[in-house]
Amino acid sequence: MSLTATGEGGCLCGAVRFRVDGAPAHVNFCHCRMCQKASGAPMMAWATYARDKVAFPKMQPRIRKSSARAERGFCGECGSALLWQRPGGTTLDLAVASFDDPDALSPSEHIWTESRVRWLKLTDRLPRYRHQHGSDEDREAS
Ligand SMILES: [Zn+2]
Ligand SMILES: [Zn+2]
């Protein structure tokens, strides 16, 4: 895993830009149905940061509640999916593909693989968890 010390990114149209200070706490691939629906893609890659390490120097992302326990942020102009967070939480997840240099943030695990799209072949050796990151019994044999 290579984690950059700083980084910048933004949405497709450029209206929302973000800047992070420091390396993320972790980076993962999420295969949950909500990420699939929100992105229109088979999975999303997320990098988790403390909220106070993330700045939005231009327009703020629009935030919408996406489940009982989570909110998602997107560009109000172009609709690009940008972030995931728990209401009142101390961290937020930024979409790795939205970074200007997404190669710099390499995911270290797969989560919510119970809803992984079956035609998507995973060939890496990263840990896979059926649900959120956690217990060994939740981990798939690889
Ligand atoms: Zn935009
Ligand atoms: Zn997800």
Let me know if residue 122 belongs to a domain. yes
Let me know if residue 73 belongs to a domain. yes
How many angstroms separate the alpha carbon of residue 13 from the centre of ligand 1?
A: 4
For residue range 44-77, what is the model confidence (pLDDT) as tens digits? 999 999 999 999 999 999 999 998 899 999 999 9
Average pLDDT for 22-34: 96
The pLDDT > 90 percentage for the chain reads: 85
Q: Give which of 134, 137, 129, 138 is closest to 31, Cα–Cα.
A: 129
Let me know if residue 137 belongs to a domain. no
How many angstroms separate the alpha carbon of residue 93 from the centre of ligand 2?
A: 10
How many angstroms separate the alpha carbon of residue 134 from the centre of ligand 2?
A: 15
* Closest ligand to the CA of 31: 2
18, 8 Cβ separation under 8 angstroms: yes
For residue range 91-102, what is the model confidence (pLDDT) as tens digits? 999 999 999 999
Domain count, the chain: 1
Identify the pLDDT of residue 142: 62
Q: Let me know if 76 is exposed, middle or buried by CB neighbors in 10 A (0-12, 13-18, 19+).
A: middle
* Closest ligand to the CA of 16: 1
- Average pLDDT over the chain, rounded to whole? 93
Let me know if residue 136 belongs to a domain. no
Please, what is the Cα angle at 27 between 22 and 30, to 5 degrees?
A: 145
* Closest ligand to the CA of 80: 1
How many angstroms separate the alpha carbon of residue 114 from the centre of ligand 2?
A: 11
Q: Which domain holds residue 82?
A: 6-130
Identify the pLDDT of residue 29: 97
How many angstroms separate the alpha carbon of residue 99 from the centre of ligand 2?
A: 18
> β-strand 91-95 against 81-85: which pairing, if any?
antiparallel
pTM, to two decimals: 0.92
Using only C-alpha atoms, the chain has a radius of gyration, in whole angstroms, of 15
Q: Give which of 1, 5, 125, 18 is closest to 81, Cα–Cα.
A: 18
* Closest ligand to the CA of 38: 2
How many angstroms separate the alpha carbon of residue 15 from the centre of ligand 1?
A: 5
Q: Give the C-alpha separation, 70 to 13, whole Å.
A: 25
The CATH number given to whatever domain includes residue 63 is: 3.90.1590.10
138, 131 Cβ separation under 8 angstroms: yes
Let me know if residue 82 belongs to a domain. yes
